[in-house]
Chain A
Amino acid sequence: MLDMPRIEIEKCNGCGLCVGVCRCGALVLIESVISIITTYECHWCTDCELICPTGAITCPFEIVIE
């Protein structure tokens, strides 16, 4: 299963900024609630996290040693 940015719905205010900033169409607002579609188009640019005013969406990194 492909990892996608994490969403905490309770924190989302439905402003839609993340939908506007995302270049891959992974984020959609359905009745003012954000949800995310799993897609390989998401390259973890973290713009959705950067723009979200409430911290509802986050792009955590896993740190691994090669």
Chain B
Amino acid sequence: MSPGSGIMAAEIEILKSISYFSGLSTEELNSITKFISKKTTERGEIILLEGEPSVEVYFIVSGAVKLFKTSAEGKEQILNIVRQWESFGDVAVFDGALNPAGAQAMVPTMLYSIRRNDIEAILREHPQVSRNVIQVLVSQVRHSMSLVEDLSFKHVIDRVAKILLEYAGDGSGNRPRLTQQEMAAMVGTAREMIGRSLKSLEEEGVIRLDRHRVVITDNEALKELAGANA
């Protein structure tokens, strides 16, 4: 056994778990390991910049990465949290255009990456990878579609306003508390939309976020918003 073979076996185990490479034989995975680069990032490190070209697809071996867009006013909208075994950066690699979103490590993160030319070679060699990539991209499209729907058609803020009114109490602890996840489920939106809605309401002076409290500061304005969607 050569000294490198243990490392290689570990790499193959990791590749097996990555969605892009599921269903490949050990032999096939073995031939892919030579294309892999490794990178570790600190918490908060920017991995991809929105609007910049990208030449690599990234796979998360451990940690988590957020994908986000920044508006002209500097407001951040989280599009997705990418987790272990998932990929990002694929869109710009496959269409050769610029990154549609930025990517930032939320915790210390270990990444594998493969360059565009190498990915193309892998796709040619292994039709199973093409099928996997279709699955991966389709689920990304679905997630984006639901965000687009929320951003453009539905009045998420109005419905958040309605929920806040329904669950408002006098602070004596007699009303159930709500997580952003629960609010999202009630409103029928992605969790990513709730943080943004609460921030907008705060900027409009309708509520104040006071640590774990949402304090309604302008009940009438909130009612008006909620009524707009009654």
Contacts and interface: CB of A to CB of B under 8 A. Distances in A.
A52 B205 CA distance: 31
A65 B178 contact: no
Contacts of B107: 17, 20-21, 51
Q: Which of A42, A55, A59, A63 is packed against the most chain B CB atoms within 10 Å?
A: A63
B81 A64 contact: no
Interface string A22-66: 000000000000000000001110110111010100111111111
Contacts of B216: 63-66
Interface of B: 43, 63-64, 81, 83-84, 106-108, 164, 167-171, 173, 175, 177-182, 191, 195, 208-209, 211-217, 219
Contacts of A61: 177-180, 212-214
Given A21-B64, A62-B212, A66-B208, 4 more contacts: A17-B64, A20-B107, A61-B212, A62-B214
Range of interface residues on A (Cβ < 8 Å):
20 to 34
Given A21-B43, A50-B81, A65 B219 contact: yes
A65 B179 contact: no
A64 B177 contact: no
A27 B178 CA distance: 21
Contact of B171 (A42, A59, A64): A64
Interface of A: 3, 17, 20-21, 42-44, 46-47, 49-51, 53, 55, 58-66
A50 B180 CA distance: 9
Contacts, number: 89
Nearest to A64: B171
B179 A63 contact: no
Contacts of B164: 63
Which 5 A-B pairs rank lowest in CB-CB distance, beginning with the nearest? A20-B107, A60-B177, A64-B171, A44-B211, A58-B179
Q: Which of B170, B177, B209, B216 is packed against the most chain A CB atoms within 10 Å?
A: B177
Contacts of B213: 61-64
A47 B106 contact: yes
Contact of A62 (B64, B177, B182): B177
Nearest to A40: B211
A64 B169 contact: yes
A51 B106 contact: yes
B110 to A, nearest CB: 12
10 contacts: A44-B212, A47-B106, A59-B180, A61-B179, A61-B180, A61-B213, A62-B175, A63-B169, A63-B177, A66-B208
Contacts of A42: 211
Contacts of B214: 61-64
Given A21-B106, A62-B212, A49 B181 contact: yes
B175 A63 contact: yes
A2 B216 CA distance: 21
